[in-house]
Amino acid sequence: MMMDRQKRLFVYMIPFVVLGFAFAIYLTVLHIKVFNQADFQADSSVCSIGEKANCETVAENPYSVFLFMPVSVWGILGYLFIGAGVIAGLLARSRRLPLVYLLAFVGFACCTALLLGYISITKISSICIFCFGLYFLNFSLLGLVVYGLWRDRINPFKGALELFMWFIKHPLHLGGLGATGIGLLLAGFLWYPRYWVPATAPATDLSMATGMTEDGHPWIGSESPLVVIAEYSDFECPACARYHGQVRELVARNADTVRLVHYNYPLDKACNPMLTEPYHLAACERAKLGLCAARQGKFWQANDLMYANRNTRFSAYRLSLSLELDEAAMKACMADPKIAEHVKADVARGNELKLDETPAFFVDGVRMQGLGQIEKLITERTRLESGVDGQGRPWIGAAKPDVTVHEYSDYQCPFCSREHRKVRRIVAQNPTRVRLVHHHFPLDQACNRLVTKPFHARACVLAKMATCASKQNAFWGANDLLFQKANHGMTEKDLAARLKLDEAGLTACVKDAVTAENLRNEIEEGLLLKLDSTPVFMIDGKEVPIQRLKQEIEKRLAAPATAAVPAPAPAPAPAPAPVP
């Protein structure tokens, strides 16, 4: 009976050990999921309550790993040894040595708990409920051990010496305990996967165009986009990294029609007034690093590197070393007040949009609810009806339009490219009501008598290439390519390869005198309309100023439907005036 009372204390310890072991296993599984499960949703675990109590936030932090293994794995090992002490207490004749043994392990666990709790509160600024549950279990076990030592009047120092001497007298027990510990550690070091180790950044898809918008935001994708996706993101946000990768793949599949534009929205109170407490402590700094990398033409490489290494501390030096940037220029840029103002301006824009999380994606000012909605919108906008009207002019949009816009354009005209994209977006937004009809008006003296000096030297050739692509049902694909500045030097061979056209047929068509004559007649039609520049847009035979075009289209769409008025038929072309 007396022996039963002595063992009762160890029986009380069993549920604490079992719970501690279970908590440590749960946290290890969570740690693995956070880093390895691609579809793992942030804040999905039972212990992710909010910003200040979030197990994922703690798991993603570098402090969650110690000596090549997650802290929770060390917890599993610790509870194995504590469990061994409890079993020894149940089996031994005296509980004196098992209590001293447990004091050593449980005491060390409690010291570790104090350190980890301090780090969680002061460094990570977020607590893990299950971690603190483990700390509670540790101190509960310590209380039971201390109670047992006090009740049996065991001097822990004398007990420690006695335990040491016992191990000396029983070397097999000491060797077995040591071998078990060393074996488990070696197994962890050798076979536990280092999934948390920062990966090298995936290479930016160099086949996609990149650049900066007029207001200084990095973009990737199409130079002449039909869909522009605005991404508000935080480089320390794990969900941002996942969704960004998915959207980048989507842009890569639609690189000729879709563009992704990056806006910073760091969840860091250092630059975001919406946050009152520390959260992503390096997010503002990373936003600035990205903008400074953009000054050296490597924003997307920096973007990929920082997303792939969210838990790594980056500095101007480290980023410069990784991306072969000018370190001095990076440091000077980081000190430039304009960079900080740029980040604050992005944050202010995000706050105007009432953002409360990242990432957030917008198209034409409308927030997208998931990748599926973005994909659906891209499909709707890029799959438009097209054809050729009665005069042989290519059109895109509505088969039976309420509004028909006639565009007179030049492929080497930068304003034409920009305004064409705007009108194409309007057509895409109203695919059953608006039609765009293309008319060539190249400002090139090779085919346009209005031009007397060299200007757009390849505009006539590009117009003929687009016309000939139309004969192979590829006008709008050619149109979109030829509007891009990088493609102004394209040959018939290049265009045929990009659009998978019959190269021989395309080349023969471009060189055909009939093609040249048709282009001259088309230009003469523009001259009869008194065109002297590009782009020009007409609706119902009347020129509409560029700045009022969108409003005019919207006004006509709002009015009762009427039959579309065709473009004015030009008078017979006069004999060409002599070229000065």
Task: Flag whether 197 is in a domain.
Answer: no
Task: Flag whether 204 is in a domain.
Answer: no
Supply 367's token pair: 């927030």
How many whole angstroms separate alpha carbon 218 and alpha carbon 261?
Answer: 6
Task: Flag whether 521 is in a domain.
Answer: yes
- Work out the burial of residue 157: count CB atoms within 10 Å of its CB; fewer than 13 is exposed, 13-18 middle, 19 or more buried: exposed
How many whole angstroms separate alpha carbon 32 and alpha carbon 69?
Answer: 11
Assess whether 290 and 363 both reside in one domain. Answer: yes
Assess whether 164 and 233 both reside in one domain. Answer: no
Assess whether 288 and 330 both reside in one domain. Answer: yes
Task: Flag whether 201 is in a domain.
Answer: no
Domain count, the chain: 3
Q: Is the peptide bond before 568 cis (omega within 30 degrees of 0)?
A: no
For residue 190, the model assigns a pLDDT of: 65
How many whole angstroms separate alpha carbon 470 and alpha carbon 519?
Answer: 13
Q: Is the peptide bond before 278 cis (omega within 30 degrees of 0)?
A: no
Residue 360: in which H helix or E strand, if any?
strand 360-363
Task: Flag whether 130 is in a domain.
Answer: yes
Supply 37's token pair: 């499960």
For residue 578, the model assigns a pLDDT of: 37
Check: pTM over 0.75? Answer yes or no: no
Assess whether 266 and 186 both reside in one domain. Answer: no
Residues in Cβ contact with 260 at an 8 Å cutoff, skipping those fewer than 6 apart? 219, 220, 221, 229, 231, 247, 248, 251
How many whole angstroms separate alpha carbon 242 and alpha carbon 41?
Answer: 10
pLDDT tens digit at each of 580 positions of the chain:
445 666 788 888 888 989 988 988 888 888 777 665 533 544 455 676 666 777 777 776 777 777 777 888 888 888 888 888 888 778 877 677 778 778 888 888 899 889 988 888 888 777 888 888 888 998 998 888 888 878 777 777 776 666 666 666 666 665 666 677 677 667 666 666 555 554 445 554 556 789 999 899 999 988 778 899 999 999 999 889 889 988 988 887 787 789 999 999 999 999 999 998 888 888 999 999 999 999 999 999 999 988 887 766 566 766 887 788 998 899 899 999 999 999 999 999 999 999 988 999 999 889 998 888 998 888 877 778 899 998 999 999 999 999 999 999 999 998 998 899 888 878 877 888 999 999 999 999 999 999 999 999 999 999 999 999 999 999 998 998 898 887 899 999 999 998 889 999 999 999 999 999 999 999 999 999 999 999 999 999 999 998 999 899 999 999 875 544 455 555 444 434 333 3
For residue 561, the model assigns a pLDDT of: 57
Give all strands (DSSP E) within 222-307, no chain letters.
Answer: 227-233, 258-264
Assess whether 443 and 363 both reside in one domain. Answer: no
Backbone angles phi, psi at 57, to 5 degrees: -60, -45
Give which of 132, 407, 315, 133 is closest to 306, Cα–Cα: 315
Three-point CA angle 381, 423, 397, nearest 5°: 50
How many whole angstroms separate alpha carbon 26 and alpha carbon 80?
Answer: 15
CATH number of the domain enclosing 364:
3.40.30.10
Q: In angstroms, how far is the first alpha carbon of the chain from the final one?
A: 123
Residue 397: in which H helix or E strand, if any?
strand 394-397
Assess whether 148 and 262 both reside in one domain. Answer: no
Task: Flag whether 575 is in a domain.
Answer: no
- Work out the burial of residue 546: count CB atoms within 10 Å of its CB; fewer than 13 is exposed, 13-18 middle, 19 or more buried: middle
Give all strands (DSSP E) within 470-578, no chain letters.
Answer: 536-539, 542-543
Assess whether 216 and 184 both reside in one domain. Answer: no
Identify the domain containing residue 246 by its residue range: 209-378
- 């508000």: which residue's tokens? 232
Assess whether 225 and 185 both reside in one domain. Answer: no
The answer to whether 319 touches 289, Cβ cutoff 8 Å, is yes
How many whole angstroms separate alpha carbon 106 and alpha carbon 118?
Answer: 18
Give which of 224, 216, 215, 210 is closest to 422, Cα–Cα: 224
DSSP assignment, residue 384? -
Assess whether 126 and 172 both reside in one domain. Answer: yes
Looking only at the bridges linking them, the beta strands covering 360-363 and 227-233 are: antiparallel
For residue 571, the model assigns a pLDDT of: 45
Task: Flag whether 566 is in a domain.
Answer: no
Assess whether 172 and 280 both reside in one domain. Answer: no
Task: Flag whether 199 is in a domain.
Answer: no
The answer to whether 561 touches 402, Cβ cutoff 8 Å, is yes
Give which of 52, 286, 9, 13 is closest to 137, Cα–Cα: 13
Select from 348, 378, 408 the last residue of a domain: 378
How many whole angstroms separate alpha carbon 414 and alpha carbon 558?
Answer: 31
For residue 440, the model assigns a pLDDT of: 97
Assess whether 243 and 353 both reside in one domain. Answer: yes
Supply 136's token pair: 């509670």
Assess whether 363 and 398 both reside in one domain. Answer: no
For residue 478, the model assigns a pLDDT of: 92
CATH number of the domain enclosing 57:
1.20.1440.130
